[in-house]
Chains A and B, each alone.
Chain A
């Protein structure tokens, strides 16, 4: 009952965010005129962006929660295992090679998946994966790839630079609804997949041995969840590049509100993160319209101080 009320409130807020996302923009359309034929093109475009924002918000939130629990590290976020720099490197390389923009999402997806495979195999020792070596190899691969990106940019200049900025700071400009539906499928399935393990995530967040003592095959579940989060983030990167802080901050905020029980935390955080991304996208379009600020900048500008406040308040995260 208690939680049902919270869900109603969250859905209401999401509805409000969606409506303001539809109404506001470079051109303001009053609510009543939104469905007029003249405004159809703008309406469709904004609807597509909002759909993308909800997909990105919930996908990043669910992945962030899963990684924070299996690595028992409050600083874990969806890009921790090298997906972001892998996707960026692949996209920049594709741009330099002169590939058509149509292939960019595919290149980014492959780059992200390849870097996760690299990180995973670096971290594996005797068939087992240790949390610390996973995080370390993620950081190492990210740093290595990022410096290769900068190296390429300094050699090849503008073309690569533009591409790099787009990927590294994210954008929800989605023109292609086919690509969006293609990406929605693995992301939605992935979120459902993570939810299937809600109970196991509770036990694993107490510690690996604790979870084994509760009958949970931690090694297998860790592998499955790393794969699921990799597919979700790689798919999201194809449509919107990298949007930081969402998968890190929103789970922490929601843990303070509803507690760490993943059965409740996962759905609540998915909705909250959707609201957050829809609003950040709105700000990125309207703040300096007609210039659009990359959404990653907005999430970071809002996210960083919120995160600092959370840490300073000394609450257990």
Chain B
């Protein structure tokens, strides 16, 4: 596996203080990388730096050996797509209109979507099991449906690398598994590289082939799930007592909470 994205000693943040303090992280082609860490550890900020929402204050991020800040933004968005937690807007676009927006990075100014773009949009709707919703307005959908539509839009960008910020945050367990299964399938069959923030340690464990554990703006530990999800690491970073055993079906670590009060 060759390197797709190289984050080299990157710092950045919002006001004066850096939220991310010198992080280095490599994403290889075909990776399924889970990013975990407590609230405020800098997970979302790291993704914002990597998707060019925030400027880097130190270090550099290379995409296939090219600095991302020097790349044309539209070209960058043809290669890298981002899935947010939810879209809230006062403008009620239809599902089809929203997914077609994923084609914007492929279109020139005043070039409107053509037959090929419509086909790609339909294909991605089919893939995410939302084709039947295509004429509905996005504010009519349930959270789970909308999340799948947002994923369809990101896929319509035909990216090589997909970033997701807690895609399962608003979903029930059924939809969580359904969404992550879809991502795993895209990762295996289509070779889509995935970098995903997850709050649920067990979901991260079950689906990622690598995990980065963030704490206070630096990477505390990075590696295979069984290397990162040890009770020592979790107790140090999250400051809570846990028990780690094995998920008998996946063979991956399974984190069990230990309530302080009984």
Q: In which size bucket is the chain A interface?
A: 20 to 34
CB of A317 closer than 8 Å to a CB of B: yes
**Which of B82, B87, B139 meets A206, CB within 8 Å?**
B87
Question: Please, which residue of chain A has its CB at the minimum distance from the CB of B73?
Answer: A215
CB of A296 closer than 8 Å to a CB of B: no
Using an 8 Å CB-CB cutoff, how does the interface string of A204-228 with B read, 1 for contact, 0 for none?
A: 0111011011111100000000000
Q: Is the CB of B51 within 8 A of A213?
A: yes
Q: Is the CB of B97 within 8 A of A259?
A: yes
Q: A214-B77, A215-B73, A215-B78 are in contact. Are A317 and B90 (CB under 8 A)?
A: yes
Cα A263 to Cα B87 with chains together (Å): 21
Q: Is the CB of A210 within 8 A of B87?
A: yes
Chain A residue numbers with a CB within 8 Å of B89 are: 72, 205-207
CB of B225 closer than 8 Å to a CB of A: no
Cα A261 to Cα B96 with chains together (Å): 11
Chain B residue numbers with a CB within 8 Å of A200 are: 104
Question: Please, which residue of chain B has its CB at the minimum distance from the CB of A74?
Answer: B90
What are 13 of the A-B contact pairs (CB < 8 Å)? Answer: A199-B104, A202-B97, A205-B89, A206-B91, A210-B84, A212-B51, A212-B53, A213-B77, A259-B93, A259-B94, A260-B93, A260-B97, A261-B93
Tally inter-chain residue pairs, CB-CB below 8 A. 77
Q: Is the CB of A202 within 8 A of B139?
A: no
Number of interface residues of B (CB under 8 A): 33
Question: Please, which residue of chain A has its CB at the minimum distance from the CB of B94?
Answer: A259
Chain A residue numbers with a CB within 8 Å of B105 are: 214-215
21-71 of chain A: CB within 8 A of chain B: 69
Nearest-Cβ distance from residue A263 to partner chain B, whole angstroms: 6
Chain A residue numbers with a CB within 8 Å of B90 are: 72, 74, 316-317
CB of A285 closer than 8 Å to a CB of B: no
> Looking at B81, B93, B157, which has the most chain A CB atoms within 10 Å of its CB?
B93
Q: A196-B110, A260-B91 are in contact. Are A209 and B77 (CB under 8 A)?
A: no
